[in-house]
Amino acid sequence: MLYHLSDSLLAYKSLMLYAFGIFIMVFLKMIYNSPRPFWVDSNVNTIYKNCKFDFSSPSTHVFTLVFFWNYIIFNYFVKYVKKINTKLVSFLYFIVFLWSVGGMIVMFMFGLVYLY
């Protein structure tokens, strides 16, 4: 979507960096793997009783929320613009912050990750 609606070079750069980041996260999951909470404790209930078969940490969801969206905001609204709209940038960073914290809380509440 970014490739078709915006600068294709920035979209390609963002995609390559995101793909490399996901590769590193999956590699770290193979090295430093921690089980899901519902694998260890039978008292932890998951939504719909579904079982995720990958390890919980490090989380690719948190990587996407914390790194990728901040990188997109920085590239498209700060780095390659003539005049920075500070109100818009601050609002977007605030939305990403709320979304990230909410996502982390939801993953903890659903028993998908531990609170380390």
Cα separation, 17 vs 84, in Å, equals 23
Q: Are 62 and 103 in contact (CB under 8 A)?
A: yes
Residue 52 has pLDDT above 60, yes or no: no
Asked if the structure places residue 75 within a domain, the reply is yes
pLDDT band at 106 (very low <50, low <70, confident <90, very high): confident
Question: Would you call 113 exposed, middle or buried from its count of C-beta atoms within 10 A (0-12, 13-18, 19+)?
Answer: buried
User: Does residue 87 lie within any of the structural domains?
Assistant: yes
Two tokens, residue 52: 């995720």
Who contacts 37 (Cβ-Cβ below 8 Å, separation ≥6)?
44, 56, 111, 112, 113, 114
Question: Is 115 within the bounds of a domain?
Answer: no
In a domain, 41, yes or no: yes
User: What is the domain extent for residue 50?
Assistant: 2-109
- pLDDT tens, 5-24? 777 888 888 889 989 998 98
Flag whether pLDDT at 74 surpasses 80. yes
DSSP helix/strand/coil, 53: coil
Local confidence band at 2 (pLDDT 50, 70, 90 cut-offs): low
The tally of domains found in the chain comes to 1
